[in-house]
Amino acid sequence: MTKEKLSYGKYLQLENILDAQAPKSKESGNLVHDEMLFIIIHQTYELWFKQIQHELNSVIRMFKGNYVQEENIGTVVARLDRIIEIQKLLIDQVGILETMTPMDFLEFRDLLNPASGFQSVQFREIENKLGMMSSKRIKFGKQQYDKFLVGDDRNKALKSEKEISLFELLEKWLERTPFLQFEGFNFWNSYQLAVEEMISKDIDRISENKNLDESAKEASLQNYESIKKTYDALFNEKKYNKLLTEGHRRLSQKATLGSLFILLYRDEPILQLPHQLLTQLVDIDHNLTSWRYRHSQLVFRMIGVKIGTGGSAGHGYLKKTAEKHSIFRDISNLSTYIIPRSSLPELPEELKKELGFYYTHGK
């Protein structure tokens, strides 16, 4: 028997994909034109979610184990970059759906009940694999999200909650940052002095600012008091652990110091890729938040403050998730402790050499 030649359509299984749009309005005998767009937008989101998971799973695999192969970091960075580009597209894609008017949406909205994007299991898997903590999730109608998932979808989401996340793996990797201690080099002491100087300069600037009224001054100064407190805790294990148990911090003290070192000495050759990686994780987190805002605006535009098809006070719930559902906040927050390059403690010559391209892991 001769083998059938491969064709474009067969390879991509277009028969299956292009036959997978079944508007509910057509079923009910009155096809609404815009329902096709609604279906295709959601399907393309799910395809991109699949690709994001494909990249994320491979990054997680590379991070597992007792140390990350240095040569893998470049691949990790390339794959995270791909995720970021896809996310940008996903944010932009909302605009296509916004060409549908709220009235057009109302033509078929009731036919979708009780299905909702809230039940996207891939979306939950991505959140969980990145490191979303279930205890920190905003409840939906007083319940956890998984209660709204059915059958295999629920199992998949719960499985992804139990598996080790990128956040946890990153934390372990950062805790192993070499060079935090280097033969008599007291980097942290010099660094503390530089930060104290920076904070006290800022405080002087606030006190002397004639454009601020008394209450604005007081609020700013209070903010600096809390910055000082968390900064003190950076170097004090007991105080830092208190921040962790009270939920003000999630990343361990050791990992925090590791990432701070990477951020501060990002120009050293060996730290350039790790720095890029940390920046990417912050980007991924911010893009997720941007998508949440964009989606919540879309929802407000389409249904106002009506309840969603999943039954929540849609817009209100979604706005809260945009504010609270952040995963790598502790990394973004490190900008508070960044000091100008000119104030950075000088690294000893020997250490600078190690941070050049001479270093190989385990030497």
Q: Which CB atom, from 116 or from 220, has the smaller least distance to ligand HEM?
A: 116
Minimum distance from CB of 304 to ligand HEM (Å)? 10
Binding piece for ligand HEM, criterion CB under 6 A, among 150-158, 172-180, 268-276, 300-308 = 300-308
How far apart are the C-alpha atoms of 132 and 144, rounded to whole Å? Answer: 13
| Interaction between residue 310 and ligand HEM (CB under 6 A) | yes
Q: Which CB atom, from 250 or from 292, has the smaller least distance to ligand HEM?
A: 292
Q: Which CB atom, from 107 or from 202, has the smaller least distance to ligand HEM?
A: 107
Minimum distance from CB of 342 to ligand HEM (Å)? 43
Near ligand HEM by CB under 6 A: residue from 121, 314, 319, 334: 314
Near ligand HEM by CB under 6 A: residue from 25, 160, 309, 326: 309
| Residues 6+ positions from 218 with CB-CB distance below 8 Å | none
| Interaction between residue 258 and ligand HEM (CB under 6 A) | no
Q: Which CB atom, from 112 or from 273, has the smaller least distance to ligand HEM?
A: 112
| Interaction between residue 126 and ligand HEM (CB under 6 A) | no
The residues with which 143 forms a beta bridge, in sequence order, are 140
How far apart are the C-alpha atoms of 280 and 250, rounded to whole Å? Answer: 19
Query: Terminus-to-terminus CA distance in the chain, angstroms?
Result: 59
Near ligand HEM by CB under 6 A: residue from 10, 33, 42, 352: 42
Taking the CA atoms of 254, 256, 259 and 260 in sequence, report the sign of the dihedral they define: negative
Task: List the structure tokens of 140.
Answer: 């939906």
| Interaction between residue 24 and ligand HEM (CB under 6 A) | no
Near ligand HEM by CB under 6 A: residue from 123, 240, 261, 265: 123
Task: List the structure tokens of 347.
Answer: 């690294």
Taking the CA atoms of 172, 273, 70 and 85 in sequence, report the sign of the dihedral they define: positive
| Interaction between residue 321 and ligand HEM (CB under 6 A) | yes
Near ligand HEM by CB under 6 A: residue from 41, 158, 206, 221: 41
| Interaction between residue 291 and ligand HEM (CB under 6 A) | no
Near ligand HEM by CB under 6 A: residue from 318, 327, 331, 334: 318
Count of positions on this chain that bind ligand HEM (CB under 6 A):
24
How far apart are the C-alpha atoms of 3 and 87, rounded to whole Å? Answer: 40
- Secondary structure (DSSP) of 173-202: HHHT-TTSSBTTB-HHHHHHHHHHHHHHHH
How far apart are the C-alpha atoms of 63 and 86, rounded to whole Å? Answer: 22
Minimum distance from CB of 138 to ligand HEM (Å)? 8
Name residue 15's amino acid: E
Q: Which CB atom, from 141 or from 178, has the smaller least distance to ligand HEM?
A: 141
Minimum distance from CB of 325 to ligand HEM (Å)? 6
Contacts 24+ apart (CB under 8 A), 51-59: 51/82, 51/86, 52/83, 52/86, 52/87, 52/126, 53/122, 53/125, 53/126, 53/129, 55/79, 55/80, 55/82, 55/83, 56/83, 56/126, 56/129, 56/130, 56/166, 57/129, 59/166
| Interaction between residue 131 and ligand HEM (CB under 6 A) | no
| Interaction between residue 117 and ligand HEM (CB under 6 A) | yes
Binding piece for ligand HEM, criterion CB under 6 A, among 66-74, 155-163, 244-252, 294-302 = 294-302
Near ligand HEM by CB under 6 A: residue from 206, 303, 344, 351: 303
| Interaction between residue 295 and ligand HEM (CB under 6 A) | yes
Enclosing H/E stretch for 320: helix 314-324
Contact in structure between 23 and 108 (CB atoms under 8 Å): yes
Contact in structure between 173 and 131 (CB atoms under 8 Å): no
Contact in structure between 287 and 87 (CB atoms under 8 Å): yes
Per-residue contact track with ligand HEM, 44 to 83, x per CB under 6 A? -x--------------------------------------
Name the site residues for ligand HEM (rule: CB under 6 A).
Answer: 41-42, 45, 97, 105, 116-118, 120, 123, 295, 298-299, 302-303, 308-312, 314, 317-318, 321
